[in-house]
Structure 1
Amino acid sequence: MNTLLALHDRELSLFRFPKRANETLQAWDAGDEYLINHITEKALPDGQNILILNDNFGALSCWFSEHHTVTMMSDSFISHRGALKNLQRNQCNRVKFLNCLDDIPAKIDLVLMQLPKSNRLLTWQLSKLRASLSADCPVIGVNKAKEIHTSTLDLFEKHLGTTTTSLAKKKHRLVFSHANCSTIHPVAAECEWPVDGEDIVLSNYANVYSGENLDLGARFMLDYLPQVDDLRHIIDLGCGNGILAIKAGQLNPQARITCIDESYMAVESAKKNLERNLGSERNIQVLANNCLDGMKQNSSFLVICNPPFHQQNAITDHIAWQMFCDAKDTLNHDGKLLVVGNRHLDYHIKLERLFGEQQVAIVAENSKFMIIEAIKNNDLKKNDLQKGR
């Protein structure tokens, strides 16, 4: 796996976050290189105020901070942490970090953006740029050519302004635009809807997963959340809009609740949703974090988890594995991890390796999903776990 970005007689040492010993994925892609090469060929004058959107692990921020004032805006806690580590690793100049709910800074000279996977987030970002930028400020986006559809360009034209594209290079294409559309189309900050069959109303910011309806995995899990009289603490790991925590909180009104997600928009949505549906008097904590980093060991009775199987645009299972490991560390003896996932992901096999075969059970399953319970047993020896016993 290459960790050295070498272009134009300059080198950057770049790693994904969190840094893993057996990492197989790069911290940048051909789209980052395309943007760097394009701007370098244009001989951009030094000292520009550059806004960089959705910089995955800081490759663009590290590169352009050498000669420019850079603001990095991302919805991802992981991206922020990865960029900060790479900036420090390469002794780069300081960069200002913003999340996607922050205001666009004034006096921006150039906007560079990795196009997000979510069209809802793209539309939100384009509308914010249109409202904040001068018409002569260039906006240059990049994505894999196969992901830039006519509908993508239509979003640029409608919500930002005049838009053209480049030729494809290394399977990526640039999108050129300006904030000059004559009609401004308002984009609502949040989408709100009731959950069918539940006394729950959800409000979701643009980048919340399955933000316009309840995803099928969460829907399946709602019927299998436990109700336990002496349950004191529940962690919803990868909480999204907080739907699982809300239902668990309704079933267990005595329990305090901690919700964790790496999306700042998910965190803000979950805060609002838990307070709205459970009441402001409940003991609730909602955090942006990398899984359960920094959480006290042996401190919780129940972790519920609907893990993602991608990081940015890369499909990977290492996030689920980290979630499972962190959950095991955080659970008390006899504490439970309850996981829902697609059947083909074989989470039960991973959990058996980690918790022990006898400690893992399939609670429910249908044609697509499986709900798995893993119980922590501090008495199991390490070699027993490794053998799956």
Structure 2
Amino acid sequence: MTTAVLDFPAGSLILSRPGTDDPNLRAWSAADELLLQEAYILMEAAPDTRVLVVDDQYGALTLGLSRFAPDVVADGAQLNDALAVNARQNRGTVAPEQIYSWLQPPVGAYDLILLRVPRAADYLAWLLRWANGALKPDGIILAAGMIKHLPDRSVDVFAGVVEVQNVSRAVKKARMMTCGRGEATLDGWPGTWKGYGLELELQSRLAGGLEHRDVRVDAMPAVFAREKLDIGTRLMLPHLKSVLKPCAPDALVLDLACGNGVLGLSALAVQPDIEMIFSDVSSQAILSAQRNAEAAFPDAKTLFMHADGICGDKSPFELILLNPPFHEGGVVGDDIALRLFEQASQSLSETGRLIMVGNRHLGYHRSLQRFFPHVRQLDASPKFVVFEAWRG
């Protein structure tokens, strides 16, 4: 966990970034600084302003504005733990009692919405449309991001959805847009759900053999690989039949970092009697996996968990399926995967297995050996490798 001090108009904050020891990775960016500076100018002139913070990562915006008691909504579940850590380090700051997500978004009209610009253009378009519906007629949206991480079509997205009033000069490689409410909303917008067809091989109850069924796999804009099957996942899918074979009925199986749920759906096609748990740090991923599972397997035993890693009392697992994310906020690395490997090793039964796919260049076979006595390669391509890992 790295810790540094953020100076902003009302003072300073000691902020930690959980999950990494890299001193070059801070818990805020220059985009957060721009948002805090402009927000204080606006809110000190109108202290009764009702403010909403969208997709704060580690608490810089939420705690920096704590004197104004902002509402907070975030797609990522990691904000909850980060706020708990950082609120303890800063006297006088108070974390909100509730952090909303897209599973349960806030309701009401806001005077000011602070928005961290995401890397995906579709998610930006979704957020701005949602913000139009949550903003008062004379309200303001402040949206900021690091220039190198702004979506390629961000100028067009802003122009087509909101009323752009000002674009700041570049400050520390960050830029901020000041916007008024636009007419575009999420009602009838076709970009909320996108997906693809997936052919599943199921055990036929009538003929006793195999049957093939095409299902639709849709996802919301914040979800990885929502428009086509990820090539790493594609490499892993043929191995599900053999690894699921030892699983008894009602065995607990976890699709960790589930995204749209394609691994869990494929597992249910192979073994429909298991209890399938879908978990992801993204609330839009959980909404997507739930939609897909309920459409394809309405009678299956399923549970959906919005969590940063493995949590809750649903363990031990007989099988954990994982295609770990290898970047966070534009930073590429294996910090997330290492944490998930460690949690998986502690959450498997004595006979349980972790099946995962990852980029070949990240050397996950060495990382897995830190937590599992047994690691076996199941498959490989020029870019990806599939591994099986177990303890006993």
- Range of TM-score over shorter length: 0.7 to 0.9
Q: Tell me if the contact between 1:158 and 1:185 (Cα under 8 Å) persists in the aligned partners.
A: no
Calculate percent identity across the aligned residue pairs: 26
Distance change >3 Å, CA 167–CA 277, structure 1 → 2:
same
Q: Tell me if the contact between 2:113 and 2:135 (Cα under 8 Å) persists in the aligned partners.
A: no
User: What SS is found at the alignment partner of 2:371?
Assistant: helix
**Aligned partners of 1:150 and 1:185: how far apart in 2?**
25
Q: Tell me if the contact between 1:156 and 1:163 (Cα under 8 Å) persists in the aligned partners.
A: no
The aligned counterpart of 1:322 is: 339
Q: Tell me if the contact between 1:159 and 1:185 (Cα under 8 Å) persists in the aligned partners.
A: no
User: What SS is found at the alignment partner of 1:324?
Assistant: helix
For structure 1, which runs of at least 5 residues remain unmatched after alignment?
378-389
TM-score (normalised: structure 1): 0.87
Code of the residue aligned with 1:290 in structure 2: it is D
**Aligned partners of 1:247 and 1:196: how far apart in 2?**
9
**Aligned partners of 2:388 and 2:47: how far apart in 1?**
56
**Aligned partners of 1:39 and 1:21: how far apart in 2?**
31
**Where do residues 189-204 of structure 1 align in structure 2 (5 Å cutoff)?**
189-195=192-198, 199=213, 200-204=215-219
Distance change >3 Å, CA 46–CA 223, structure 1 → 2:
same
**Where do residues 55-204 of structure 1 align in structure 2 (5 Å cutoff)?**
55-66=56-67, 68-90=68-90, 91-95=92-96, 96-100=98-102, 102-103=104-105, 105-148=107-150, 151-181=153-183, 186-188=188-190, 189-195=192-198, 199=213, 200-204=215-219
Task: Report the alpha carbon displacement of residue 194 of structure 1 after superposing the two structures with TM.
Answer: 1.4
Code of the residue aligned with 1:203 in structure 2: it is D
Work out whether 1:285 is the aligned partner of 2:303: yes
**Where do residues 333-348 of structure 1 align in structure 2 (5 Å cutoff)?**
333-348=350-365
**Aligned partners of 2:121 and 2:261: how far apart in 1?**
21
TM-score (normalised: structure 2): 0.87
Code of the residue aligned with 2:253 in structure 1: it is I
Code of the residue aligned with 1:366 in structure 2: it is S
In proportion to residue count, which structure has more strand?
2
Q: Tell me if the contact between 1:118 and 1:207 (Cα under 8 Å) persists in the aligned partners.
A: yes
Distance change >3 Å, CA 103–CA 352, structure 1 → 2:
closer
The aligned counterpart of 1:384 is: none
**Where do residues 264-279 of structure 1 align in structure 2 (5 Å cutoff)?**
264-279=283-298
Task: Report the alpha carbon displacement of residue 313 of structure 1 after superposing the two structures with TM.
Answer: 3.0
Task: Report the alpha carbon displacement of residue 38 of structure 1 after superposing the two structures with TM.
Answer: 2.8
Code of the residue aligned with 1:58 in structure 2: it is G
**Aligned partners of 2:149 and 2:308: how far apart in 1?**
28
**Which stretch of structure 1 is more off in the superposition, 9-18 or 322-331?**
9-18
For structure 2, which runs of at least 5 residues remain unmatched after alignment?
202-212
Q: Deviations over 1:296-355 (max 9, x none)?
A: 66x121111000012233323111011111111111223211110111111111112321
Distance change >3 Å, CA 295–CA 316, structure 1 → 2:
farther
Distance change >3 Å, CA 219–CA 44, structure 1 → 2:
farther
The aligned counterpart of 2:208 is: none
Q: Tell me if the contact between 1:153 and 1:163 (Cα under 8 Å) persists in the aligned partners.
A: no
Distance change >3 Å, CA 216–CA 204, structure 1 → 2:
same
Code of the residue aligned with 1:212 in structure 2: it is E
**Aligned partners of 2:118 and 2:188: how far apart in 1?**
20
Task: Report the alpha carbon displacement of residue 14 of structure 1 after superposing the two structures with TM.
Answer: 1.6
